[in-house]
A and B are shown apart, each in its own frame.
Chain A
Amino acid sequence: MMRFMLLFSRQGKLRLQKWFTSMSEREKKKIIRDMTTMVLARQPRSCNFMQWKDLKIVYKRYASLYFCLGVESQENELLALEIIHRYVELLDKYFGNVCELDIIFNFEKAYFILDEFLMGGEIQETSKQIVNRSIEASDMLQEDDISEWYEVELFG
């Protein structure tokens, strides 16, 4: 099970945070601080996994942005790495050649995509098409529920 996901820049600025278990503000702050310092201090050719307390930290850098995932220690690290990668692919598909600025200015969209992809700390949907279809359908959403077209868009 995943515990949290953080996105931060090379300067250590937080871009996105998602917590899958209940945590106090203090804990969150500590984790964010620890993660940014630990991950940013890593040497370029080290492996993408770290141990932090009883958690496994799996991180990967995409351009100027670090994706950092905290999973329980019995989880499969390689799989966690692929979760990050799929999320990046999803962002890329939605924004079209995603860059850090897209996520900074549209962070709520990044959250919506994450919510369609992961739920309750587990993978919910792995298909790029389906995730994007439901995000786009919600984006275009109108209030009347008789309109058929979004149902087709979303669930067809």
Chain B
Amino acid sequence: MSDVVEKTLTALPSLLSLDSHPGSAKLSSTSKLGNLIRGITELTSKHEEEKLIQHELLAIKEQVSSPNTTMMKELMVRSIYCEMLGYEASFSYIHAIKLAQQGTVLEKRVGYLAVSLFLNESHELLLLLVNTVLKDLQSTNLIEVCMALTVVSQMFPKDMIPAILPLVEEKLNHPKEIIRRKAVLALYKFYLIAPNQVQHIHNKFRKALCDKDPGVMTASLHIYLQMIQENPEAYKDLTPSFVTILKQVVGGKLPMDFNYHTVPAPWLQIQLLRILSLLGKNDQSTSEVMYEVLDESLQRAEMNHNITYAILYECVKCIYTIHPKSDLLEKAAKCIGNFVLSPKINLKYLGLKALTYVVQQDPKLALQHQMTIIECLDHPDLIIKRETLELLFRITNGQNVTVIVEKMLEFLCISEDDHTTIDLVGKVAELAEKYPLKYNEWFIETMNTVFSLGGDMMQPDIPNSFLKLLSEGFDSVEEDRKLRLFAVNSYIPLLRGEPGKLPQRFLQVISWVLGEYSHLREDLEPAEVLSLLAKLLDMKNSSSETKSWVLMAMTKLCKGGADASVTQEVSETYSSSLDTVLRQRAHELQYLSQDPELRARVLPRGAKPETLEVDSSLSFLDRFVSEALAAGAAPYKPPHQRQEELDQSKALSLEPYGLSLPISMSSCSITDRQSPTLLSMSSGLSGDTLKLDGIKRVWGREGYLAQREPVEEAAQVEVPSPIQSPGRQGEGDSLHSQTPTQTPTPEPEQEKQQLASSLFVGLASQSSVSLMGKSEPMPQRFRRKAKGQGLGSSFIANEQISSSLISPPSAVDNLLCNNLLDSNNASELAEQTSQLSQSLTTANGTCHAEAELTESDTKGCNPALRRDNCVVAAGPGPHNDPGRLTEVCLDSYLPAELSGLSHSEIAPLCANQSLNLSACHVQKEDSLILVVFIMNSSESAIQQIRLVSITVGQYSLTVKRPAVHVEVVGTVSYQLPAGTSQSLQFSYKVPLTSFIRPFVVSTEEYGTMWLSFSHDTKQNLTLINDNQEPLTATLNALKKKLQLHVVEVIGMEGIVACRLLQDLPCLMHCRVNAGWLAVWLRSPVPDLPDCLIYHCQRALQSL
């Protein structure tokens, strides 16, 4: 007791200090921190600030190390502040850890906060925190447990996860939902940083998903989203459950607490939509399950608020990801319209994003919104512009590529962000390379711009693939020549100008091209090219890599004679270079320029690139290796394996043996890496149903349809659309003629329309739109189908595996319904079935026929109990009329040792032509016996078998995990004389109360036990009021009904104890309070208090 007082006293100062309660938070500006902050704001120069902070840090350092400072918390807050300003306070790190370790709860909280702000995952001091976290995880103070879980999810050394994992796992069963929720999120974090550490607890995640608290369930979805992303096939069975949850959320079945601005649990909704889209991708049957709820989500989200738009966006994405359904697609398309046309810029942005996602499957949608897209392209906000380009990139085809690339290059010129530049340059290069032949000059010019804008940041494969394209050429020799010549022509003026401004990569490309192809230009003297190249060598900022490219080019070019002097000079300069590569190139140049024959052999002009054969397996070394192995050398291990082994030998083994189950290996099936483009099938389906009616038919397949505008006419003529089939063409034409006459549009509008017509040309003919450049709609559709089949088979395989690992989905489903709505017993039972099927532990019965008891569900981990060495039943007697069998008869078959004890009613279980099963249970003091009566009722058997018998099996039952009802499931297998074996399944339900026995303890023992039990529950029960002593009466009633032991009654309080067979105690503390009996149950066994309280309730109700 005294230490409680002491602790309270130490907590007092902190309570009285600045932050005693939230309302007075502003008071703290009078504290030392307040002084510091005010001091800083009054300063004018950075220098002064630095001086002040250094002074402050010194003061903190001094105080922090004095042994019994009472200010630790405050000091820590001050050092956090200094660190936030950018000054290092590393001396306080260790004190932060100490504070988290030793402080009072309030100090601990600041300590943990400081640690999480100061250190990161790899900091060595963090190891000192592990023990603290371990201790706090086991604390009985819930706040401490919460803090530990928070810090664990913020940062925890990866290698130490095994040390705390069991404790965190245990918290999944904690009675408080806040703890369960935090534990789930901590596990999620572990899953992210070290997935293999949590592999063995996948089934626990499933339990979290079934949690009765929606918050815990929501938290578990983070893990599921990750796991499903990695392997959607393994979780298909959960689809109906996710759909059910979403339905209930959308239908407003969650408590009000989960609402955000009157929208029910938006975060949960979005998480579920994401999961569904992953599950329904390329899977028609799974998608079909979702259609209804998606439709409902679309309809429900009506309110004009950001959050509903966020939901709508995910909905649309999901609809376009899963197997298409036409009316949903139609609704989704309308929804996108709302986004794109919104005056709010944020919504417009998201609309563009959605459109970008969708046009891959349905390019017509872009056509609908072309004017908006054009407007966005000129938007002052670069982000909007950027997103628009992304959209255009997806709808590029052979006809609009030049315009789109031009827009992209325009953007590149104004963009300052490196990341954007790299990305966009890559896209331009990709587009340009897709259509090089069509526009020779355009291709080269575009690539020139790409190289000069992209500079040295761009992906190195861009110049590589450009050079490859140039050298490999295409089918036509003449075209190739033209392309190369054009490249040469464009480079010469660049070199004559200011080559110093060009990026190194570009210079390398230029020198290579000139070396190879400058001879194509007949009016160009090699000497001039050489001198231009030599100029590059002299430039200060040329890198040595560029120089070696230049030297290579020169080697190819020089022919001796007049050029000799230039090359001679250059090779002399560089043959003494410190850079070995340069030196080698210089020597090559020197020798080859003097020996034209050798040069012609080594560097033949205009040679097609040969395909080099590389023996990547290094098979020519096999002999050497086998000799070495024979001589006793250790076999080769790849570096990662070596590293792993090293790590293993170094690290502490914290894992208990046998924990690392190799289960989840099987679940890593082939994930579907299909690109979204291949989904284009949906556009085939939706093409006819998309509503184009509402929109004026101003834009046709070839662009603007107004006939009276010569500009547009010209645009149409200019751009041929060769890909369109004749039929489509005709259709387009007819549309064209039907269009009503347009009123003349003002000038700028016309400009926009012209741009539109050039941007969206060729869009309607689907075949021309493809992201990957290979536009074959038919094969795509075919491919998709084939893929589907492949998936199907792997799905089946997975299904088998998963079903053997986890409880049946029906149970999960039931639970979800149950937890989100009201609890009803049926589903609870379902849970029991899956959990308690293991409860048949021993079997010592006697049996005539061969009986087999197996689990009903697919857990398969319990070995079936087979009893071959049967003993003849206690009293098998002839029975001639099994049909009229009565209870009284069966009573006599009870085994002798049980007959004296009270047994439950003998209930018929099931029957078929040959067997009749009945059962009852008998309560013994230390066990519960299940007695199964098996009767032969078969007519034929009577004739052929010696005697018709009743056999009696008795099984002693124990409970592994408490539940309200225990259901025993079994199978009787038997063999007919004809030789066919048959089986009969039965199930038998026993209430938990049958397993409860009184527990005799003294009040002192009770007291010590009470404190040590961690699982508890509280509830108010009805009192029996017909007596003067309501407490005693109620307790006696409970005692009678549930076999409890009343330890002591003191005034208005009573303590009661019982145990669950064999020896699992449960303590009960009752207090009369305002006409109710406040009951508090505690037990070391999870769920036991909850189950027991249920039975207490029932017992009192039935009175």
Contacts and interface: CB of A to CB of B under 8 A. Distances in A.
Interface of A: 14-17, 19-20, 22-24, 29, 43, 45-54, 76-79, 81-82, 85-86, 94-96, 101-102, 104-109, 111-112, 115, 119-127, 129-130, 134-146, 150-151, 154-155
B715 interface: no
Given A51-B419, A81-B346, A124-B182, A22 B310 contact: no
A45 B26 CA distance: 34
Given A108-B80, A120-B153, A142 B11 contact: yes
Given A107-B84, A111-B113, 11 more contacts: A49-B383, A78-B346, A104-B37, A107-B80, A109-B25, A115-B154, A120-B153, A122-B219, A126-B260, A129-B257, A134-B146
A101 B37 CA distance: 10
10 contacts: A17-B117, A76-B313, A78-B350, A86-B260, A106-B28, A111-B113, A124-B185, A144-B8, A146-B4, A155-B177
A125 B181 contact: yes
A97 B120 CA distance: 34
B270 interface: yes
B182 A119 contact: yes
Interface stretch (B101-109, B538-546, B665-673): B101-109
B26 A137 contact: no
B143 A138 contact: yes
Interface stretch (B16-24, B160-168, B586-594, B875-883): B16-24
Contacts of A146: 4
A47 B346 contact: yes
Contacts, number: 194
A155 B178 contact: yes
The 9 closest A-B pairs by CB, nearest first: A143-B7, A78-B310, A22-B121, A120-B189, A120-B153, A46-B381, A127-B257, A47-B345, A79-B310
Nearest to A16: B84
Nearest to A144: B4
B986 interface: no
Contact of B419 (A52, A112, A119, A136): A52
Given A78-B313, A79-B267, A154-B142, A139 B306 contact: no
Interface in B299-313: 306-307, 309-310, 313
B22 A46 contact: no
Interface string B919-953: 00000000000000000000000000000000000
A123 B309 CA distance: 19
A141 B419 contact: no
Contacts of A121: 189
B643 interface: no
Contact of A124 (B80, B85, B113, B181): B181
A94 to B, nearest CB: 6
Nearest to A136: B22
A22 B122 contact: yes
B155 A22 contact: yes
A122 B84 contact: no
Contact of A82 (B22, B106, B153, B307): B307
B21 A140 contact: yes
Contacts of A125: 181, 215
B86 A22 contact: no
Contact of B33 (A94, A105, A137): A105
A49 B349 contact: yes
A155 B260 contact: no
A26 B490 CA distance: 43
B188 A122 contact: yes
A155 B306 contact: no
B420 interface: yes
A17 to B, nearest CB: 7
Nearest to A138: B143
Contacts of B28: 105-106
B185 A120 contact: yes
Contacts of B153: 119-120
Contacts of A140: 15, 21
A138 B117 CA distance: 19
Nearest to A105: B29
Interface in B711-740: none
A81 B308 CA distance: 12
Contact of B106 (A79, A134, A136, A141): A141
A125 B178 CA distance: 9
A136 B185 CA distance: 22
Contacts of B34: 105
Contact of A79 (B110, B122, B177, B270): B270
Q: Most A CB atoms within 10 A — which of B21, B22, B109? A: B22
Contacts of A78: 306-307, 309-310, 313, 346-347, 350
B265 A126 contact: yes
B81 interface: yes
A112 B307 contact: no
Contacts of A14: 84-86
B267 to A, nearest CB: 5
A27 B28 CA distance: 33
B19 A109 contact: yes
B10 interface: yes
A154 B376 CA distance: 50
A86 B120 CA distance: 27
B1008 interface: no
A71 to B, nearest CB: 12
B81 A107 contact: yes
B260 A142 contact: no
Contacts of A46: 345, 380-381, 383
A101 B28 CA distance: 11
A3 B897 CA distance: 68
A51 B1088 CA distance: 53
Q: Most A CB atoms within 10 A — which of B26, B77, B81, B380? A: B26
B407 to A, nearest CB: 18
B700 interface: no
B266 interface: yes
Nearest to A132: B22
B41 to A, nearest CB: 9
B426 to A, nearest CB: 14
A19 B117 CA distance: 8
Given A22-B120, A141-B106, A151-B142, A82 B383 contact: no
Interface in B61-110: 77, 80-81, 84-86, 104-106, 109-110
